[in-house]
Amino acid sequence: MSRSEWFPIETRTGKALRAARWIAGLTWVAFLTRECVVNGLPFDREGIILWMGLGLLAYSVGRHPIWLLWVAVDFLPFAGVLIAYDYLRGLSDGLGMPTWWHPQVDIDKALFFGHEPTVWLQEHLKHPEVRWYDVVVCLCYFSFFFLPYLTAGVLWLRSRADFYRWSLRFVSLSLFGFTIFALIPSAPPWAAANCTAAEVANHPSNAWCMYYPDPHRHGGVLGAMTTHLPGAHPWVERISTRGFFELHLKAAKSLIDKGQGTADQVAAIPSLHLAGTLLFCIFMWPRLNKWWRPLLVAYPLLMTFSLVYSAEHYVTDCLAGALAAVLITLAANRIERWHARRKAADTLEAPSDTATLENQCPSIETTPSSI
């Protein structure tokens, strides 16, 4: 006799709950689609977390009531990161810490035999019109604003243990980066290109010259462009959003430009864009099929190119971000192994071998999935 014959009521109830879950999910998709059509894609992190949380709540319809509590509790750390950022992004002024304007330029020139990478790239690649690689740079740059939260949402659905591991790493990396921003504020290339050494001699964090490009400054602290493509502006510009025009997302570009104008402008070291990207690739390396690994290698390299070419970050910033991602990963792995050993010691019976311990809390060398 089949299970449906033994438990007809349970089966009907289960089907009704699954139907309710589908209805809730489709309703969520419909409202999200409407939001995108009317107001554009939710690029702000608060909006992304809100919509992702609503989606997970829809997925939880018909499940055990504790699921609803899990959705709220599990994503509190991400909300905490946003609150911390909103607080810390203005803290550097209150602390009175001097802003770095010159060291990044000097290190980049030393690494590239006297050439400043951002200047060189815009000299040879920046056209007056948007090119295909400007679109790629734009998409790569803004993928960071979605990636950590979408990763968290997918992991929460697939494996809450992996969700906690990712949450530990991402939240730790973010708080570490925000702390450095407050203690060691540093100007990005686009700002250094707009200000001369005399204008930033007192290491200001919000110099007026940052917001008024003037070609007569001849490249400012960053250095002047010695050549440029016909029709292109002969000075370094912040061009991370220009690809939106080609994508017919002018409204999104305006929203992002406004957001960039109100965010902390001297939060460049370490580059959280590169750090978060590399953290994601390291985390997913053992969890994805080996055929994905070339993309996991290419993604941080493309992000570095995008950040440097668009004048958002120096190579030095990216190297600092990469170092931060590696250190956070190593620290998280050590914490998880320590927790696994402590958990094993608290049980009545010790694990039979080391494999049991690794299964309880796999490290970065976890066996890849079949994704």
| Type of residue numbered 74 | D
| Separation in Å, CA 239 to CA 145, 248, 330 | 17, 16, 34
Token pair listed for 68: 């609803």
Q: Taking all residues of the chain, what is their mean pLDDT, rounded to a whole number?
A: 80
Euclidean distance between the first and the last CA atom of the chain, given in angstroms as a whole number: 36
- The per-residue pLDDT for range 308-365, each reduced to its tens digit, is 999 999 999 999 999 999 999 999 999 999 888 887 776 655 444 444 434 444 343 3
DSSP 3-state assignment of 186?
strand
Same domain, 70 and 93: no
Nearest to 284 by CA among 195, 189, 161, 366: 366
Same domain, 260 and 346: yes
Burial class (CB in 10 A: 0-12, 13-18, 19+), 77: middle
- Torsion of Cα atoms, 305 then 124 then 249 then 192, to 10°: 70
Same domain, 130 and 235: yes
Position 309 scores a pLDDT of 97
Q: Is residue 79 part of a domain?
A: no
Q: How many domains does the chain have?
A: 2
What range defines the domain where residue 313 resides?
A: 89-360
Q: Is residue 51 part of a domain?
A: yes
Exposure pattern of 289-318 as b/e (b: 16+ CB <10 Å)? eeeeeeebeebbebbbbbbbbbbbbbbbbb
Q: How far apart are CA 3 and CA 12, in angstroms?
A: 12
Position 256 scores a pLDDT of 56
Nearest to 192 by CA among 236, 234, 256, 240: 236
- Torsion of Cα atoms, 127 then 132 then 135 then 140, to 10°: -110
Position 366 scores a pLDDT of 41
Same domain, 67 and 167: no
Q: Is residue 83 part of a domain?
A: no
Position 28 scores a pLDDT of 78
Residues of the chain with pLDDT under 50: 1-10, 251, 258-262, 350-371
DSSP 3-state assignment of 145?
coil
Nearest to 85 by CA among 214, 171, 202: 171
Same domain, 242 and 268: yes
Query: How many other CB atoms sit within 10 Å of the CB of residue 26?
Result: 11
